[in-house]
């Protein structure tokens, strides 16, 4: 126990402060650069003001702020629903249980070999799209279910192939707008509407790139983008966008993200 003036501080208090500081940092890390970060900062300032008012003893203002904080907590859940989902996804992916062989078998997760077989037609199609300066947006499923995004597009349910992807993103095709979702060796749907990232840092990006980034923020899917203007290839994974990469580098990154890390954990 430590005595600092009139305060008595125990080691549990230091642990409490450290955990709260860590939690606040994680929340800031999730919402930084987005409009939600300003809402979070405003709510935090109001909460600090509430603590000061309560300490001073202004009862009426304290009661008003208490009601506001109660309603504000519900509003924060609505505002930060995507960030909360990303945090829970991060926690889920970090557990040994989520990566266990039994878990993957129970939920019928695709094997590493099946995911590897998906890469060749995707890489070949992306290479062709890039050479022809044809825009493309391809979502490759990892573990998260993408049913609600499949429902926003036109059902394809075709065997994954280079020709099918090139036909979808042909500039004269009615399916070339939006994203094509690849899952379990099949193209599930095309012209799918994807969530667009609202980060302030992404204002200089095109719509396809913002959609790819947004999709990678709310799911664990890997999203490949081909720019129609420059032919450059980009990859969005877990809220991070890698711009202007080669087809070979794209293949290596997809291999590493989709199954190499998982196979090491299972082994």
Name the residue ranges covered by the structural domains of the chain: 2-94, 111-266
Query: In angstroms, what CA-CA distances link 250 with 185, 212, 256?
Result: 18, 15, 10
Query: Measured between alpha carbons, how far is 35 from 201 in angstroms, rounded to an integer?
Result: 11
In CATH, the architecture of 111-266 is: 3-Layer(aba) Sandwich (3.40)
Helices H / strands E in the chain, number of each: 11, 9
pLDDT band at 1, cuts 50/70/90? Answer: low
Burial grade of 233 (CB within 10 A; 0-12, 13-18, 19 or more): buried
Q: Which of 28-37, 101-110, 230-239 reaches the highest mean pLDDT? A: 230-239
Q: Is the pLDDT of residue 43 over 70?
A: yes
| Arithmetic mean of pLDDT, 122-126 | 94
Q: For residue 184, what pLDDT is reported?
A: 83
* Residue keyed to tokens 């979702």: 181
Q: What are phi and psi of 46, to 5 degrees?
A: -65, -40
Contacts of 90 (CB under 8 A, 6+ apart): none
List the alpha helices (DSSP H) in 132-260: 147-150, 162-168, 207-218, 247-255
Q: Write down the pTM of the prediction.
A: 0.62
């Amino acid at each position: 126990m430590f005595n600092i003036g009139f305060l008595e501080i125990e080691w549990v208090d230091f642990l409490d402060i450290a955990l709260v500081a860590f939690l606040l940092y994680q929340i800031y890390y999730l919402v930084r650069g987005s409009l939600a970060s300003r809402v979070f900062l405003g709510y935090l300032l109001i909460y600090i003001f509430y603590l000061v008012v309560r300490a001073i003893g202004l009862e009426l203002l304290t009661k008003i702020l208490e009601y506001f904080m109660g309603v504000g907590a519900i509003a924060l859940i609505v505002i930060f629903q995507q960030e909360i989902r990303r945090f829970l996804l991060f926690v889920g992916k970090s557990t040994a249980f989520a990566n266990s062989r039994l878990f993957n078998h129970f939920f019928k997760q695709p094997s590493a070999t099946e995911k590897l077989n998906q890469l060749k037609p995707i890489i070949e199609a992306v290479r062709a799209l890039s050479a022809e300066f044809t825009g493309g947006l391809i979502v490759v499923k990892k573990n998260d279910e993408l049913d609600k995004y499949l429902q926003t597009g036109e059902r394809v349910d075709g065997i994954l192939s280079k020709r099918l992807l090139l036909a979808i993103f042909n500039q004269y095709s009615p399916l070339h707008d939006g994203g094509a979702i690849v899952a379990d060796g099949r193209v599930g749907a095309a012209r799918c509407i994807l969530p667009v990232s609202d980060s302030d840092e992404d204002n200089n990006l095109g719509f396809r790139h913002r959609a790819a980034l947004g999709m990678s923020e709310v799911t664990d899917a890997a999203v490949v983008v081909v720019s129609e203007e420059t032919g450059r290839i980009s990859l969005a994974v877990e809220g991070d966008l890698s711009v202007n990469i080669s087809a070979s580098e794209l293949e290596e990154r997809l291999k590493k993200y989709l199954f190499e890390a998982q196979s090491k954990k299972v082994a």
